[in-house]
Structure 1
């Protein structure tokens, strides 16, 4: 033990003795370790941490799956596997009741639904906030504790019960100033009063990924808060369901029980599914379907930062080899007085581990900064997103593991090399092992170049993909368009009053100087939202294996002209298309190609649910959910015939969009000051938000690629500088005998370029193979794009040549007389 302590003390003395080397080593490793820790911390917070509830391992998320479906009214997240299987976690309320009351193997079955933005009034102050509608047994089944007060109970979820609400600690702090008498106070949500009965703890996390909900209300509040999804309907799919398994339950039996009940739902509803089944998902982290949307970019980034750390390790190994040359005499003396090879290796590894541990501590600090930058980047585009990103044991163990791994990666080879001294010859010459050291140094440099190529090529693919996304034609004019939402439905307006109110807003907006077009729609294009419905074509033979589905949008008659969407056939909506007239719709060109081939669809009918609509016109195709989304069949309804509660306004202007904000606020306040403006932004900003992850990935990968190239060039520079220093006398003799400066510099540059070519040649097949991982990330470009790959290879060779120019230039300027006096 005393020997080990002495070796640790010696390692610290070595660090203090060589402050320059120590600083460079710790900074290089800290950047690599810090980047790895930061990305893993994000993955841990989003994907790996269990919910802070009672026995989270007992929770199961209930999803359905099928190979084709037709749903009249749907709200939620869907995904499609490579086999063509669709899956989702949205269910009708009666199905939840069946699961809760009849499913075997669960101690509790709970339901919840995101309410989105709510208009809230607290102590006379109005604001918008997110809410969650939950079943009466939610908090018991979910396993969440209450800080003060009580949770929502089953009796609160009965028709006619007094409206109650549970608030988060965040809402208690921000909206009530941590008032200890908050219980019993009334909070007005969408003009309905709710009594606060409980406050959740600070560390509470809801089941929805990135949960932003501050107000929890029972399902009994559905008529006031989410009336467009009636509780009694089996045709409206909008609830998410989780269950808590009983200790004696068997998952296959539970799944079978749920599938029997699910088939009963399908039998008495208009929903059609092909080969439906029930999936039980581990619920300890909540519904992973929502979390997995950001999982792939994060894992790709984890791979990228791992490459940077490998480059840093190779760089450190090269530095240790160079330092080992200076310590060759010391190691020979140690061996001569009895130190065995394992003792020398252990001493070198302890020195490397000491550097790694110091770098790990600095890396933890660096990771906190990197994580903050990334989260600020995301929240600046999407608003507040709440994940538990605090350091935990898993992150600390990961950092420690990375530190130990880096020690072995960069410390073992130099330790092995420097320990292989021969006492009988080591005192006679310190240069006998120089050739071996030089070869190993060249291998490390070639390795750094190859790994850097992976990052440079990946960054090139991301840059080109981002450019392609920015150049996508969304099908409408995104410039000079101000966008915001109003919710007259939450303010208590009925269908007729909503139509009149929104028309009044349109007329008032159109009168603002600089405005040349106003429209409104149920959903903003490129806002990440989507509405869709199943449909059928009356008069055509039904195909049981065909499930027709299309996106849908309810719009004002000025929508197409304001947005710049061309009318291809027929007519657009008019003021005469009212609830008293024939129900009409417009469709996009993709709908025509999917359902009518070359036939003119104008005049034909489409059945959606129980209603038939006559097609009156065909418009051009547009991107709907994001610029990445494929053009899909879309149905447009007249707002006068199907007035939604909330709408998005689109205001076309010849002025800078945000310059209209004061006038817009004044107009809205003059018409009804109780209706707040929500989600005020520009259409260009909405477009940019759809590619936020691509921008983040490109920025991070670009920064990491730059760091990797700098590290690789530093390693090459160190190798060549050491090479020149070792050959100073030889170079001086050659120049004294008549060699020109270019004759001295050329071999050094040639050696550097050769190392770069070797590194590129070895890494290129690996790069082409690993680039396939980015197939789902890049857009409009093949992962093995030749132009990008060749460009990355040429860039690496050019940068390496530039890095070699400094030592080559120094060698060419050696004074022969000084060189001959060298040593």
Structure 2
């Protein structure tokens, strides 16, 4: 097409916003006469300026006329309202379908944006959250560890860098309500006295901890959480000063904490989980001075507040200087650095990728829905061509017809927004009820005003696009009845199909990637072979586990039972160790392993296989030489030559519990790896040590049935209660259930995106159905003639379906390119799978084409089933 033709087409498109075709031709003739033969850029500029002013001047005249005849304009608007309402009520299917599709899309957008804002964007409920950081130790491999007491003390000494530094750990106690009810397990934090001050918070009642509260020789004090104060003390303000039984001690309540404290526990995967389940109470860390000199183990979470005027870059440099000094002074710090990260990112960081992918997917599906509704408006405008031509002949102006279309689209989009706002509250409730894993602050989310504003803006934009762009869609054409029956080209409809197909491919490929990733995750070996084993948490003080085991092992159908500090999917503390009679490989003097105390029969009860050597027996536990077992990850990293000979290791944390010189263990066996941190995490080195050598605050009871279903949970609970009625039991379930819970997050992400992709697929199928149905309707006479002349039905069907799928195929190509661009967003959610997985990149588009092709066949076959003679007779 020549440059002149392009310029003339652009001029017509601009003028058509106000004028009809006859007026446009007159204007172009006038411009040619006035511009004359001016050559080059000067002539182009003159023509462009003249063409540009015509619509502006015309609209100015019309607005002035409307202002001088306001009453007439108001009457016209009332008439237009009644006319549009009659049209919508006369054909409610179009209006209801459009409103339903848009309402679902807008409701999802409002709900997800509210969740994203409430979880990711709103500041934490603490003082100046952007100044709060989480403290970590990082080894040479980049792995993060919790802080050691000595390193916390060293960081706290940097008063010019951090105005406040606090440490915290996990604490579990049994709570006796004094009303005869069974004891309850409360989970909270053991914190340094400056914990609340570091967070910038004050108790809602009472006082915060003071330095004297951390002295082990003072009276034990506790701050209860807001929900414990409400649930167990009826919001009684006189709770301050009351003594309550926590475990085997009486604690004096000195304060009530505000809601939603962060952080809490420091004992699960990632080192710093932030769950509401660990905020029942806060007690001071009560240790003597020697405790704060320890360089092992990694026991404590750490938080700090940047000093006024201190920048993160300067703080990083100060910590690097501190790390260099500590590496020279302490061998245990040789391969570790002290670092910090944003506390807000630690709270929301692990759910950020999933929420952002969800938000992007919802916007894509909403865009597909909007395109689908746009196709409905296009078809409606085509059907009303004759009606508009008659209206123009009777004197209706283009501006009034335009206002009617915008008014109609505004009613539909506005109603969809109102309905979507109502639905969004329900969507949030459903998400809060069905999400099977913890999302920080999700329980506090409600419909957000900003999200409602976003929905209103989207509705307004759609109303303008659907109503105001109809002239560009080819809906307002000629002034004469001669073109009443002329069908439009359908190019825009093909463009809409291309657009929604491209968007659908992105969602489909994402769903396939997450599905294949989940399958890979599900196929990983958790490391145990006793999925039916029950695990129960036992909480209390000073009880005899042998009595519990005797009762449980006597139950019919029990193969084995044991106690341990934790179950296979629970993280424990990490400690350094040293090989006593063998050099460390690679001069790894700062070696760290997970310390896992266990009881007799644990490996059989948990189904953890023996790989090398033997398991210690009762005689070994009573002997002078203590026995230990390591896992395969430990052997691979630290014992490449195996455990042959009299291999011994020294564990510093055992010295603190058993006395100096009593921490040497002989390694006698190697057991299989267990993925302690979840199916997606690699097994970490672990040392299994006898439980009797360590004093722990609680136990996990594992009961392995002789066969599936041979032991019921209630029977185990009853046996525990009969043996020790003062022990609190919680967290009961099978190892298979724990494994399933570990998969809950990727499973839910997969199902959510799969649901959105199914919605996108349905919308695209409806789009292909609509375009073929429209084609068969507008070309009925042509198809009837071809069939009457002997054209095979298969040939006609193929031509029609290919015509429908051609724009979809172009959309598929564009969608694959967009999916590749989106791969970086999905990378963090995938396990064992590349974001450019060829099966997903091919399978998504292929699935779309197959399903949409099947949808296109239905109207084609239905039209061909009609007798050609009947079709021609009707025409």
TM-score by length of 1: 0.85
Moved more, 670-679 or 169-178: 169-178
Structure 1 unaligned regions, length at least 5: 69-83
For 1:23 and 1:54, the matched residues in 2 are separated by: 48
Residue 216 (structure 1) aligned to one of 259, 281, 304: 281
Residue 118 (structure 2) aligned to one of 34, 45, 48: 45
| Paired residue secondary structure (1:636) | strand
Q: Does 1:207 align with 2:247?
A: no
Q: Does 1:675 align with 2:727?
A: yes
Residues 537-570 of structure 1 show CA distances to partners (whole Å, capped at 9, x for unaligned) of: 3432675677433333222232223333332322
| Paired residue secondary structure (2:593) | strand
Q: Does 1:121 align with 2:183?
A: no
Residue equivalent to 1:233: 294
Q: CA shift at 1:482, angstroms?
A: 0.6
| Paired residue secondary structure (2:126) | coil
Listed as ranges, the matches of 1:768-807 within 5 Å are 768-771=820-823, 773-807=825-859
Structure 2 unaligned regions, length at least 5: 1-66, 265-273, 656-662
Assess if the C-alpha contact under 8 Å between 2:204 and 2:257 holds in 1.
Answer: yes
Assess if the C-alpha contact under 8 Å between 1:103 and 1:258 holds in 2.
Answer: no
Assess if the C-alpha contact under 8 Å between 1:588 and 1:618 holds in 2.
Answer: yes
Residue 249 (structure 2) aligned to one of 176, 182, 192: 192
Residue equivalent to 2:669: 617
Q: CA shift at 1:33, angstroms?
A: 2.5
Residue equivalent to 2:447: 391
Q: CA shift at 1:680, angstroms?
A: 0.6
Q: CA shift at 1:678, angstroms?
A: 2.1
Residue 333 (structure 2) aligned to one of 242, 256, 272: 272
Q: CA shift at 1:723, angstroms?
A: 1.8
Residues 151-191 of structure 1 show CA distances to partners (whole Å, capped at 9, x for unaligned) of: 44445444444333333332222222334543333322222
Residue equivalent to 2:473: 417
Assess if the C-alpha contact under 8 Å between 1:149 and 1:199 holds in 2.
Answer: yes
Taking a change above 3 Å as real, the CA distance of residues 616 and 178 of structure 1, as seen in their structure-2 partners, is same
Residue 564 (structure 1) aligned to one of 607, 611, 614: 607
Taking a change above 3 Å as real, the CA distance of residues 575 and 345 of structure 1, as seen in their structure-2 partners, is farther
Assess if the C-alpha contact under 8 Å between 1:91 and 1:240 holds in 2.
Answer: yes
| Paired residue secondary structure (1:652) | strand
Listed as ranges, the matches of 1:529-544 within 5 Å are 529-538=571-580, 539-540=582-583, 543=586
Residue 29 (structure 1) aligned to one of 84, 97, 102: 102
Assess if the C-alpha contact under 8 Å between 2:353 and 2:826 holds in 1.
Answer: no
Assess if the C-alpha contact under 8 Å between 1:522 and 1:555 holds in 2.
Answer: yes
Say how many residue pairs are matched.
Answer: 780
Residues 567-610 of structure 1 show CA distances to partners (whole Å, capped at 9, x for unaligned) of: 23221011123375213221223332323334454522233336
Relative to its length, the structure with more helix (as a share) is: 2
Listed as ranges, the matches of 1:516-527 within 5 Å are 516-527=559-570
Residues 369-395 of structure 1 show CA distances to partners (whole Å, capped at 9, x for unaligned) of: 33333332335x669976421333443
For 2:138 and 2:682, the matched residues in 1 are separated by: 21
Residue equivalent to 1:79: none
TM-score by length of 2: 0.80
For 2:606 and 2:144, the matched residues in 1 are separated by: 33
| Paired residue secondary structure (2:701) | strand
Taking a change above 3 Å as real, the CA distance of residues 532 and 195 of structure 1, as seen in their structure-2 partners, is closer
Residues 203-233 of structure 1 show CA distances to partners (whole Å, capped at 9, x for unaligned) of: 544335333344333424569xxx9x95563
Assess if the C-alpha contact under 8 Å between 2:406 and 2:466 holds in 1.
Answer: no
Residue 482 (structure 2) aligned to one of 401, 405, 428: 428
| Paired residue secondary structure (2:625) | coil
For 1:218 and 1:600, the matched residues in 2 are separated by: 43
Larger radius of gyration: 2
Assess if the C-alpha contact under 8 Å between 1:34 and 1:364 holds in 2.
Answer: yes
Taking a change above 3 Å as real, the CA distance of residues 587 and 817 of structure 1, as seen in their structure-2 partners, is same
Assess if the C-alpha contact under 8 Å between 1:211 and 1:387 holds in 2.
Answer: no
| Paired residue secondary structure (1:184) | coil
For 2:836 and 2:438, the matched residues in 1 are separated by: 32
For 1:347 and 1:658, the matched residues in 2 are separated by: 73
For 2:177 and 2:579, the matched residues in 1 are separated by: 49
Residue 595 (structure 1) aligned to one of 610, 635, 638: 638
Assess if the C-alpha contact under 8 Å between 2:348 and 2:440 holds in 1.
Answer: no
Q: CA shift at 1:354, angstroms?
A: 4.6
For 1:562 and 1:236, the matched residues in 2 are separated by: 28
| Paired residue secondary structure (2:722) | helix
Taking a change above 3 Å as real, the CA distance of residues 187 and 45 of structure 1, as seen in their structure-2 partners, is farther
Q: Does 1:295 align with 2:360?
A: no
Assess if the C-alpha contact under 8 Å between 1:744 and 1:811 holds in 2.
Answer: no
For 1:216 and 1:561, the matched residues in 2 are separated by: 36
Assess if the C-alpha contact under 8 Å between 2:511 and 2:753 holds in 1.
Answer: yes
For 1:790 and 1:106, the matched residues in 2 are separated by: 53
Moved more, 603-612 or 502-511: 603-612
Moved more, 711-720 or 269-278: 269-278
For 2:725 and 2:715, the matched residues in 1 are separated by: 14
Moved more, 689-698 or 138-147: 138-147
For 1:375 and 1:560, the matched residues in 2 are separated by: 38
For 1:62 and 1:359, the matched residues in 2 are separated by: 44
Residue equivalent to 2:15: none
For 1:408 and 1:519, the matched residues in 2 are separated by: 69
Assess if the C-alpha contact under 8 Å between 1:570 and 1:616 holds in 2.
Answer: yes
Residue equivalent to 2:61: none
For 1:370 and 1:32, the matched residues in 2 are separated by: 11
For 1:349 and 1:217, the matched residues in 2 are separated by: 60
Residue 726 (structure 1) aligned to one of 765, 773, 778: 778
Assess if the C-alpha contact under 8 Å between 1:517 and 1:562 holds in 2.
Answer: yes
Residue equivalent to 2:431: 374
Moved more, 506-515 or 350-359: 350-359
Taking a change above 3 Å as real, the CA distance of residues 754 and 62 of structure 1, as seen in their structure-2 partners, is closer
Residue 605 (structure 1) aligned to one of 636, 643, 648: 648
Moved more, 9-18 or 699-708: 9-18
For 2:311 and 2:527, the matched residues in 1 are separated by: 51
| Paired residue secondary structure (1:606) | strand
Residues 385-441 of structure 1 show CA distances to partners (whole Å, capped at 9, x for unaligned) of: 76421333443344345445655776675463246x34445x431455601xx1221
For 2:506 and 2:805, the matched residues in 1 are separated by: 18
Residue 221 (structure 2) aligned to one of 152, 161, 164: 164
Assess if the C-alpha contact under 8 Å between 2:260 and 2:276 holds in 1.
Answer: no
Listed as ranges, the matches of 1:450-489 within 5 Å are 450-488=502-540
| Paired residue secondary structure (2:447) | coil
Q: CA shift at 1:803, angstroms?
A: 0.9
Q: Does 1:692 align with 2:744?
A: yes
Residue equivalent to 1:551: 594
Q: CA shift at 1:810, angstroms?
A: 2.4
Taking a change above 3 Å as real, the CA distance of residues 386 and 373 of structure 1, as seen in their structure-2 partners, is closer
Assess if the C-alpha contact under 8 Å between 2:425 and 2:446 holds in 1.
Answer: no
Residue equivalent to 1:73: none
Residue equivalent to 2:57: none
Moved more, 270-279 or 507-516: 270-279
Q: Does 1:504 align with 2:544?
A: no
Q: Does 1:441 align with 2:493?
A: yes
Residue 712 (structure 1) aligned to one of 764, 769, 785: 764
Q: CA shift at 1:704, angstroms?
A: 1.0
